[in-house]
């Protein structure tokens, strides 16, 4: 599986210290749009396996991380490079739009 599950315990190691761009998918199991974007995020993970790291953060399980990123609506997709946020979008996005965020 090429999608990483992020928790507050592995956030620094997997996201902040990553040498590749990181896509964070903030989601919840009860969120319809999140279920729509989930398979797209998985496809992005497969297509960028050596170029980027794709991660999912369940906002119900990790409220501290959701708060740290000021998540107000889900799904929220955030791209981080070198520990800094470079892109932030809310809602369902097409695969090509997500891939272009990782460039």
* Domain housing 97: 3-101
Q: Is 34 a catalytic residue?
A: yes
Which one of the listed residues 31, 89, 90, 92 is annotated catalytic?
31
> Is there a contact between 85 and 78 (Cβ–Cβ < 8 Å)?
yes
| Count of structural domains, the chain | 1
Task: Kindly state the average pLDDT of the residues 75-90.
Answer: 96
- pTM, entire model: 0.96
Q: Is 55 a catalytic residue?
A: no
The pLDDT tens digits of the residues spanning 63-81 come to 999 999 999 999 999 999 9
Which one of the listed residues 23, 34, 77, 80 is annotated catalytic?
34
Using omega within 30 degrees of 0 as the cis cutoff, is the peptide bond preceding 75 cis?
A: yes
Instruction: Indicate which CATH number applies to the domain containing 20.
Output: 3.40.30.10
């Amino acid at each position: 599986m090429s999608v990483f599950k992020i928790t507050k315990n592995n956030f620094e190691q997997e996201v902040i210290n990553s040498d590749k761009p990181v896509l964070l998918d903030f989601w919840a199991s009860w969120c319809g749009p999140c279920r729509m974007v989930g398979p797209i995020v998985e496809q992005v993970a497969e297509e960028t396996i050596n170029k980027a790291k794709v991660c999912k953060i369940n906002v119900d399980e990790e409220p501290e991380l959701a708060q740290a990123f000021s998540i107000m609506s889900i799904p929220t997709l955030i791209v981080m490079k070198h520990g800094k946020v470079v892109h932030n979008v809310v809602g369902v996005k097409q695969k090509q739009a997500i891939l272009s965020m990782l460039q």
